[in-house]
Amino acid sequence: MSVAEPRRIVLFRHAKADWPQVTDHERPLAERGRLDAAEAGRRLVDTGISFDLTLCSTAVRTRETWKLAVHEFPHRPKTVYEERIYEASPGELIALLNETPDDARNLLLIGHNPGVQGLADILSGGAEGDALTRMHRRGFPAAAFAVLHFDGPWKSLEPGTARLADYWAPSE
């Protein structure tokens, strides 16, 4: 694959979590979160993107979100559970994405706010259609995802280098 071919990044916030008496990292999904995670999986399939790699936070709620979403996929992409995603800033997430091997064309990152929403805002140098308007109007609620396109090698990903191509949230 040429590094000049367009790449796609999907930034996916975990579904709605419950608040039992456990550490934040160990919080599971709420019932609503389980339903929304499966619906998000169906919507991700509808994008037509064939993911080469998934980077998922190690938090229980992100792992549960991924398990329910990927169940809807025709094939499971390689998945890496990455502890650096938990509580990561947008800059830390960019640094992590810069490490992605160039043979991965389409990447799914499952993480947390405010990092995921901040990253979508920071990377988006432009937008297609009304995706940016919808994202700004809705914010980045639980189980929402943004689809971004960019050209070049992963190490060249930096603020403003991507285009927001699509956005979906459970209430859309």
Stated as kind and residue range, the H or E segment containing 163 is: strand 162-168
Tokens of 45: 């399939």
SS3 assignment, position 26: helix
Residue 134, marked binder: no
- What residue has token string 């990152």? 109
Strands 78-81 and 106-111 turn out to be unpaired
User: What does R_g of the chain's alpha carbons equal in angstroms?
Assistant: 15
Residues belonging to the binding site are 61
Residues belonging to the binding site for substrate are 61
